[in-house]
Amino acid sequence: MSEVEVPAPLPRPAQPGLGSVLVGVFGGVLAVIRKDLLVEWRARAQVVALLGFAVVVLLLFSFAVGPDSMALARHAGGYLWLALLLSSTLLLARSMQNEVESGALEGLLLVPVPAASIFYGKALANTVLLVLVALVALPVDLAITGAAIVSPGVAVAVVVLGAAGVAAPGTFYAALTARVAGRQLLLPLLLFPLIVPALLGAVKATTLAMTGDPMGQVPSWLTLLLAFDLIYWSLCGLLFEKVVEA
């Protein structure tokens, strides 16, 4: 047979236990979050432009509806979420564009962490940025429409859950369309129909946070948002590897 005997079992790089795998995954997620937020921080002028965009959209809504303060206050939640949604496509497209340009994504994929942790890192970073946009847009929205937040806790929960609901499929579709011609149009076209349930839940819950919730409907809307988030954060994480490999 062969003379070249494989020397007796070297101390193999032992199968990493579940614990260290988890540390690796979470470490990867954290590293990607940190990287993305750092990139945004270094290009903060763009973030400021994004915030400005959201504010301008809010202003335009109020101009389109006119000075009817009752109508404005009644639809304040809807305006807020539409402004966030329109801003989000810019944010999401840019976050993925940064990776595709200059082949940064290939480098990122070489890092020995699962592709899913890249997805979760980017999606979480986008969630943070969307929450930031919401934190700026919400006061402007309240000022313009004359609405007021009655239950701040609900508002915070809705903003976080809603931002997460936009960010997961948004990051996913941004990756899917990153190399496609016409992506500026495709991303919103893909994303907007998909997140109709999240939009409904977020707008309803935000409106209830502004008007008060005599019927106790808030929990069911938050549950809807949570369910949407859970489903799409798992599904997109599962499929992300296929998307970036292709």
Partner 1 sequence: MTSRSYVAGAALSAIGFALLVVAHYLGLFVAPREAMMGDVGRILYVHVPTAWGALLFYLGAFVAAIGSLWSGRRGWDAATTAMVEVGTVMTFLLLVQGSLWARPTWGTYWTWDPRLTTSAVLAAAFGVVLLLRRLIDQPARRATATAVATIVAFVDVPIVYFSVKWWNSLHQPVSSRQTIDSPMMQPLLIAAVAVLLLGIGLSVLRWRVELARLLAEEAAPDLPDAPAPLDLSGASGAPRG
**Binding of partner 1 by 31 (CB under 8 A):** no
Contact 89, 41 (CB under 8 A): no
**Binding of partner 1 by 226 (CB under 8 A):** no
Task: Decide: helix, strand or coil at residue 181.
Answer: coil
CA angle (17 as vertex; 16, 22 as ends), nearest 5: 95
Interface pick for partner 1 out of 82, 136, 197, 226 (rule CB under 8 A): 197
Interface pick for partner 1 out of 180, 184, 212, 219 (rule CB under 8 A): 180
Minimal distance, residue 116 CB to partner 1, in Å: 14
Alpha-carbon gap, residue 140 to 60, rounded angstroms = 12
CA gyration radius, the chain: 21
Q: Which residue number, 29 or 175, has a Cβ lying nearer to partner 1?
A: 175
Interface pick for partner 1 out of 179, 184, 212, 219 (rule CB under 8 A): 179
Q: Alpha-carbon dihedral of residues 49, 51, 53, 55, nearest 10 degrees?
A: -140
Minimal distance, residue 33 CB to partner 1, in Å: 23
For residue 45, give both structure tokens: 């002028």
**Binding of partner 1 by 220 (CB under 8 A):** yes
- CA-nearest of 1, 237, 225 to 124 is 237
Interface pick for partner 1 out of 34, 143, 196, 212 (rule CB under 8 A): 196
Alpha-carbon gap, residue 115 to 124, rounded angstroms = 14
Q: Other C-beta atoms within 10 Å of 152: how many?
A: 9
Binding to partner 1 (CB under 8 A) within 152-171 occurs at 169
Stretch that binds partner 1, among 34-42, 114-122, 139-147, 232-240 (CB under 8 A): 232-240
Minimal distance, residue 205 CB to partner 1, in Å: 11
- Binding residues for partner 1, rule CB under 8 A, total 34
In which residue are the tokens 């429409």 written?
145
Stretch that binds partner 1, among 4-12, 37-45, 150-158, 227-235 (CB under 8 A): 227-235
**Residues in contact with 203: Cβ distance below 8 Å, sequence separation at least 6, in sequence order:** 77, 78, 81
Minimal distance, residue 30 CB to partner 1, in Å: 26
DSSP letters along 182-213, please? THHHHHHHHHHHHTHHHHHHHHHHHHHHHH--
Interface pick for partner 1 out of 2, 181, 214, 216 (rule CB under 8 A): 181
**Binding of partner 1 by 109 (CB under 8 A):** no
Binding site for partner 1 (CB under 8 A): 169, 172-173, 176-177, 179-182, 186, 189-190, 192-194, 196-197, 200-201, 204, 220-221, 224, 227-228, 231-232, 235-236, 239, 242-243, 245-246
